[in-house]
């Protein structure tokens, strides 16, 4: 519950009102950089936002929040609504690629039905530098290759372990369960109901891929553009999710396997009998392709793997949140 003056307002109501203001494009919305820093520009700014809620009939004057409460709600709204959307309803889909799909790798099969038994929230873009720094207080990409400091750029030089730590930090804030998506959840969200090579179609002539993806021939082909780009610039899929093709390979929960034979059919993470390297480090699934990947590698069904404690200029992640009551 969030305290609004002397009234207790359910958290979801305040988050919904703030998210609505952002989605309507209101000029009352603070900049992304301001929100990521965890504060708003001024008390006057907060009061203007509350006035809009009152004028729209969302709250009464008696429910007007104190500036500190609106600060917290804005920060929470950023993570819960701007970064995440309730875009993945429960359902079934065919995971992997058909034997005759152009560009198919053996690791993508056999194609099999997966049932997603519960809706989930998923980040509409890859975790940004600004999001990581605001939560973790570090800049792992700073001074490393193929990275430009910019809070709106996808954060690279992050490994699977980093994704788990970031998720845990968000969970500390509001008690919900944040984590990396499973391999199946990732593909389900990427497809958004599609059954084609890419989320928007087969595009065998690659006429539209650059509209949806930063990849080898759209970004890496220019020497001064060889770094992860600003998120949300390319077109989203049918569920409003950006950058599922390219920009950064994204870590998933699952261990790596040579193919999908014997994989779970319920959308859960495959955590048995996976690959480990000579040092005993577990390999984790990567999805989506990266800024240097070919058009074949950024297809929806494409899968790769990497040791869970190793990062690269082409690795990052996006988070998801389980739809469940907040922890006490």
Judge if 73 and 113 occupy the same domain: no
Question: Domain boundary residue among 16, 47, 82?
Answer: 82
How large is the average pLDDT for residues 223-230? 93
Chain centroid, CA 170 distance in Å: 13
Q: Is 327 part of a structural domain of the chain? A: no
Judge if 168 and 206 occupy the same domain: yes
pLDDT at 82 over 50: no
Query: 292 has which bridge partners?
Result: none
Q: Is 328 part of a structural domain of the chain? A: no
Task: Out of 18-32, 41-55, 252-266, pick the least confident.
Answer: 18-32
User: Mind listing the pLDDT tens digit for each residue in 182-201?
Assistant: 999 999 999 999 999 999 99
What rounded mean pLDDT belongs to the chain?
A: 81
| CA–CA separation, 77 and 174 (whole Å) | 11
pLDDT at 311 over 70: yes
Question: Domain boundary residue among 34, 53, 82?
Answer: 82
User: Mind listing the pLDDT tens digit for each residue in 259-270?
Assistant: 999 999 999 999
Tokens 């701007």, residue? 82
Q: How many CB atoms lie within 10 A of CB 7?
A: 14
Judge if 134 and 48 occupy the same domain: no
| φ/ψ bin of 260: left (φ > 0), alpha (ψ from -120 to 50), beta (otherwise) | alpha
Chain centroid, CA 107 distance in Å: 24
Q: How many CB atoms lie within 10 A of CB 280?
A: 6
Query: What's the whole-model pTM score?
Result: 0.77
Judge if 42 and 114 occupy the same domain: no
pLDDT band of residue 37 (cuts 50, 70, 90) is very low
Q: Is 155 part of a structural domain of the chain? A: yes
User: Mind listing the pLDDT tens digit for each residue in 141-184?
Assistant: 999 999 999 988 999 999 999 999 999 998 887 777 899 999 99
Judge if 243 and 109 occupy the same domain: yes
How large is the average pLDDT for residues 104-113? 97
Judge if 144 and 290 occupy the same domain: yes
Domain that holds residue 287: 88-322
Instruction: List CB contacts of 76: < 8 A, sequence separation 6 or more.
Output: 11, 15, 173, 174
Judge if 55 and 173 occupy the same domain: no
Q: Is 63 part of a structural domain of the chain? A: yes
Judge if 154 and 289 occupy the same domain: yes
pLDDT at 202 over 80: yes
Number of structural domains (the chain) is 2
Question: Domain boundary residue among 63, 82, 101?
Answer: 82
Determine how β-strand 2-4 pairs with β-strand 7-9. Answer: antiparallel
């Amino acid at each position: 519950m969030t305290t609004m003056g002397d009234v207790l307002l359910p958290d979801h109501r305040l988050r919904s009102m703030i998210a609505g203001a952002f989605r309507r494009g209101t000029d009352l919305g603070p900049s992304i950089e301001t929100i990521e820093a965890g504060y708003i520009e001024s008390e006057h700014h907060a009061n203007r936002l509350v006035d809009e809620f009152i004028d729209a009939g969302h709250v009464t004057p008696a429910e007007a929040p104190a500036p500190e409460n609106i600060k917290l709600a804005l920060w929470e709204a950023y993570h819960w609504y701007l970064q995440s959307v309730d875009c993945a309803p429960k359902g079934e889909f065919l995971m992997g690629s058909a034997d005759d799909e152009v560009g198919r790798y053996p690791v993508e099969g056999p194609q099999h039905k997966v049932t997603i038994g519960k809706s989930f929230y998923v980040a509409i873009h890859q975790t940004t530098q600004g999001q990581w720094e605001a939560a973790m207080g570090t800049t792992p990409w700073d001074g490393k290759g193929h990275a430009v400091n910019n809070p709106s750029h996808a954060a690279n030089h992050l490994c699977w372990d980093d994704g788990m730590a970031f998720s845990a930090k968000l969970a500390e804030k509001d008690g919900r369960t944040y984590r990396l998506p499973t391999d199946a959840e990732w593909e389900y969200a990427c497809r958004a109901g599609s059954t084609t090579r890419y989320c928007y179609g087969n595009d065998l002539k690659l006429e539209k891929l650059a509209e949806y993806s930063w990849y080898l021939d759209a970004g890496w082909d220019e020497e001064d553009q060889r770094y992860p780009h600003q998120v949300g610039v390319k077109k989203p899929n049918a569920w409003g999710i950006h950058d599922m093709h390219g920009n950064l390979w994204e870590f998933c929960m699952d261990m790596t396997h040579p193919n999908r034979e014997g994989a779970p059919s319920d959308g859960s993470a495959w955590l048995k009998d996976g690959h480990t390297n000579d040092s005993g480090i577990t390999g984790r699934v990567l999805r989506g392709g990266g800024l240097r990947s070919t058009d074949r590698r950024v297809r929806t069904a494409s899968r790769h793997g990497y040791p869970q404690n190793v990062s690269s200029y082409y690795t990052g992640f996006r988070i998801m949140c389980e739809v469940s009551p907040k922890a006490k």
